[in-house]
Structure 1
Amino acid sequence: MIDRLRQQLAAADLPDRLRQLAAGAPAAAPVSLTLDLGKLDSDWLHQLPAKAPFWYRARPQRGEFRLGIGHALQVSSSGGNRFAALDNAFSGLCSDWRHTAGEPPPLAFAGFAFDAANQNPLPNALLAVPAILLENLGGRCRAVLTVPAGRIAQAADEWRQLLAQPARPSHTLLLPAAPQALTERAWTARVNAALRDIAGGKLDKLVLSRSRRVEAAGPFSPALILGQLAEQQPDSLLYAHGQGELCFLGATPERLVRLDNGLAEADALAGTAWSGSLSLAEQKNQHEQSLVVQAVVDALAPLCAAPPQASPATEHPAGHLTHLRSRICGRVASGTTLFDLVRALHPTPAVGGYPSGLAQDWLAAHGEQRNGWYSGGFGIFTAAGDGELSVALRCALLNGRQAELQAGAGIVAGSDPQQELAETEAKLGTLLTALGPAGELDRNGTRD
């Protein structure tokens, strides 16, 4: 498969095809050429680069796998206007974007942090058009090659270099973990503080997160971990962004919002059950879910041409965990962008609390820290303005031999601190299992 792409990169007519696409475009305009790679069952994990920036997004159960390698164009932002800044920049890119006629529009990837001020260690909000996008949608594979119009002359060489340096995955063993008793007691104390303020009528819900640092005998391999997550949670959305030894990855059950031809769809996901836990039918879980549904409906309503509608809650599996999920749909008003929807929805009560503003103030005052893009967002945008973002949950931030795992729990009236602690342990366990030794990377039917 990759050999086939290399052959097409060496074709004598490639520069001419790019110049024809770019005719009349500004030098900074993205130019995207789509190449058919035929039919093959590939998850692209064997092609994760060793050093270049990459983006990975997959739904294994649907046979949907995407890998972006290198950056043809990128823009970052932070602060209260971060989404508006990215929206304006992306709109400018799309107005000049040239791409192969008759093919699906090319993609940009984006990720952002929970807190608008957090810059540790990833950019707070980043949007990038990959230089090479490898796609497998139901077994049909293609490559989308993108370059600014002013750099066409050197594009083929740069693409070949990006393909020439895939990472070499190797298994590693986790080292013994540090004792967690002190951090668990500190987190439980915060839960009790949250319950006091909820009982006092100051808030209805708070989401408190925990982190755990683990170390391995050798560098972690994103490809192996993502492969493990695909085996564990084929019905979740797998995601990753990395460069060199730094990588943020996970498998999330929750969509933030999707925009497709004017129809917006968002998830209201809350409540968690696992073997030995409370049932999702318990009042605590039902109450937590109802808060999220109402908040999502209220956030979308001003942007919709008619009141958005919520489906009844159903049980949604995510590996060994199960959640309550409702889907909220609405037809957006003319001129509404995907970033408008993100700005209205984030953070939902599923990751912040309710009411949202008061919850964020409480979390800041009580030392809530969320590194990387945990409980922020990760997704794709099309050159036509549609796209989908997911909430970045069940994740790990890898840096060489070290990994930081984060998980949270929703605290409402009636929450039991020990049960909430057990919930975070169950969520952390998802990634801990994936970080450990696994089967060989070269599984039947999933590689070149």
Structure 2
Amino acid sequence: MTTVNETGGTTADHRVGGALLAAYRPGPDRAFFAGPRRTLLATGSRAAVTDPAEATRLLREARTPERPDPLVVGAVPFAPGRPAALFIPDRTQWAQPVHDDPLLRLAPGDRTGPVWTSRAVPAPEGYRDAVADAVRILAADGELSKVVLARTLELSTPGGADLPAMLRRLIHRDPHGYTFAVPGEGSATLVGASPELLVSRRGTAVTSNPLAGSAARSDDPVEDRRRAAALLESPKDLAEHAFVVDAVRRALEPHCYDLVVPERPSVIRTAAMWHLSTVVTGTLRDPATSALDLALDLHPTPAVCGTPTDRARALIGTLEPFDRGFYTGVVGWGDADGDGEWVVTLRCAEADGDGLRLFAGAGVVSGSVPEHELAETSAKFRTFLHAAGLGDDK
């Protein structure tokens, strides 16, 4: 087993992911990313990357005989033209996936957290009104077919969140998902557990796993299975999902051949939600196209913005009373060879000082019911409310 040396570089570590989680501490030059295949801990910063389009060039310049495998890691915001929070770390450590770690599969010893105060932005009635406004606009507009509207919960407690403990709870609830903690804007840390792979590249193999169409889980097993079956037959959710899959197909077609797009979605589950899921695969045409290049072409999908993109983004700016920042952006890593793994920044929060700001959104189409979309966002908040110690840890 190799270890990090004093001059930095990359390690090929065969430990389980819990070892890297135990070593993670929040900071402006530290990042943790756990996926289904392996776990990454990045520390130190050799270069900041505020323009994602410059990442490939900067990685090539950073490659040396002593450090042949530089990475870029971090987050890209939702809005175009905003600075990214990416960096090329001085040291990287890899480990096996967290779901292989038996200790992380055990329930966290402390299921309670600090006492939080909370404020919803917008308030629930304000969110219902925004959804109703969006439905009216969709009905009157012959071009706009979907918009994704989000809301936030602003939590506060003296001393702020214990981010390593929060990551552990997130991993315990959804060990097969993507769990991350990366620098955000200013002194903030962006932490989350996304279920959605935007794109990965391994050699010439390209994979995207769009999710759209959701239903809350139930504690009753019979009801839980009924909700999953109903989701697979829901005209509203199937139409919403089809928008997203078609957008992914159109974005990947110029870059891939042998593109495989299943005709019907399946359902996948997280601890809080059922999601309609389609796994799209293809073979890269040009090896010079990196995973981050593909991610930037795919972002934002209709799953987080709407369709058409420009019209939906403008309506989001009108109806959402907050700045999304990195929420519904892209988070992950890429290497100098172009391989990488980038996920949609969902089920996430910004931690800064005493505060923790949670985000959740729902897709609004012509058949949307405001109360149903409010309930969907409430269900999506459950992931982070549990992580913050504000619920039972199942």
- TM class, shorter-chain normalised? 0.7 to 0.9
User: Which one of 139, 147, 160 corresponds to residue 206 of structure 1?
Assistant: 147
Q: Is 1:221–2:180 an aligned residue pair? A: no
Q: Are the aligned partners of 1:172 and 1:217 in contact in 2 as well (CA < 8 Å)?
A: no
The residue that corresponds to 2:202 in the other structure is 260
Shift of 1:45: 2.3
The residue that corresponds to 2:134 in the other structure is 194
Determine helix, strand or coil for the equivalent of 1:44. Answer: helix
Residues 140-289 of structure 1: matches in 2 within 5 Å?
172-178=113-119, 180=120, 183-200=123-140, 201-242=142-183, 246-275=188-217, 279-280=230-231, 281-289=233-241
CA 1:187–1:117 in structure 2 vs 1: closer, same or farther (change >3 Å)? Answer: farther
CA 1:321–1:419 in structure 2 vs 1: closer, same or farther (change >3 Å)? Answer: same
Shift of 1:33: 3.8
Cα separation, 1, equivalents of 2:117 and 2:317: 32
Q: Which amino acid aligns with 2:381?
A: L
Q: Are the aligned partners of 1:33 and 1:99 in contact in 2 as well (CA < 8 Å)?
A: no
Cα separation, 2, equivalents of 1:293 and 1:346: 13
Cα separation, 2, equivalents of 1:406 and 1:110: 18
Measured against aligned partners, the alpha-carbon deviations of 1:178-237 in whole angstroms (never above 9, x if no partner) come to: 4x5971111111111111122223411110000110112432111000000011111210
Residues 90-129 of structure 1: matches in 2 within 5 Å?
90-94=56-60, 97-99=63-65, 105-118=69-82, 124-129=83-88
User: Which one of 136, 151, 163 corresponds to residue 95 of structure 2?
Assistant: 136
Q: Which amino acid aligns with 1:71?
A: S
Shift of 1:429: 1.5
User: Which one of 359, 369, 377 corresponds to residue 424 of structure 1?
Assistant: 377
Higher alpha-carbon deviation: 399-408 or 368-377: 368-377
Q: Are the aligned partners of 2:16 and 2:96 in contact in 1 as well (CA < 8 Å)?
A: no
Residues 36-75 of structure 1: matches in 2 within 5 Å?
39=15, 42-49=18-25, 51=27, 53-59=29-35, 62=37, 64-75=38-49
User: Which one of 275, 279, 301 corresponds to residue 323 of structure 1?
Assistant: 275
CA 1:331–1:38 in structure 2 vs 1: closer, same or farther (change >3 Å)? Answer: closer
CA 1:303–1:182 in structure 2 vs 1: closer, same or farther (change >3 Å)? Answer: closer
Determine helix, strand or coil for the equivalent of 1:414. Answer: coil
Cα separation, 2, equivalents of 1:214 and 1:205: 30
Cα separation, 1, equivalents of 2:133 and 2:14: 58
Determine helix, strand or coil for the equivalent of 2:50. Answer: strand
Identity of aligned residues (%): 28
User: Which one of 329, 338, 362 corresponds to residue 376 of structure 1?
Assistant: 329
The CA RMSD measured in Å over matched residues stands at 3.0
CA 1:125–1:196 in structure 2 vs 1: closer, same or farther (change >3 Å)? Answer: same
Shift of 1:395: 0.4
Determine helix, strand or coil for the equivalent of 2:337. Answer: coil
Name structure 2 gaps, 5 residues minimum.
99-109, 219-226
The residue that corresponds to 2:260 in the other structure is 309
Shift of 1:66: 1.4
The residue that corresponds to 1:398 in the other structure is 351
Q: Are the aligned partners of 2:59 and 2:335 in contact in 1 as well (CA < 8 Å)?
A: no
Determine helix, strand or coil for the equivalent of 1:115. Answer: coil
The residue that corresponds to 1:342 in the other structure is 295
**Max Rg structure:** 1
Shift of 1:387: 0.9
Q: Which amino acid aligns with 2:260?
A: Q
Q: Are the aligned partners of 1:71 and 1:131 in contact in 2 as well (CA < 8 Å)?
A: yes
Cα separation, 1, equivalents of 2:281 and 2:93: 30
Measured against aligned partners, the alpha-carbon deviations of 1:414-436 in whole angstroms (never above 9, x if no partner) come to: 11110100000011121011011
Number of residue pairs matched by the alignment: 367
Determine helix, strand or coil for the equivalent of 2:342. Answer: strand
Shift of 1:133: 1.4
Q: Are the aligned partners of 2:170 and 2:387 in contact in 1 as well (CA < 8 Å)?
A: yes
Determine helix, strand or coil for the equivalent of 2:372. Answer: helix
Determine helix, strand or coil for the equivalent of 1:302. Answer: coil
Cα separation, 2, equivalents of 1:413 and 1:135: 45
Q: Are the aligned partners of 2:192 and 2:349 in contact in 1 as well (CA < 8 Å)?
A: yes
Shift of 1:290: 0.9
Determine helix, strand or coil for the equivalent of 2:349. Answer: strand
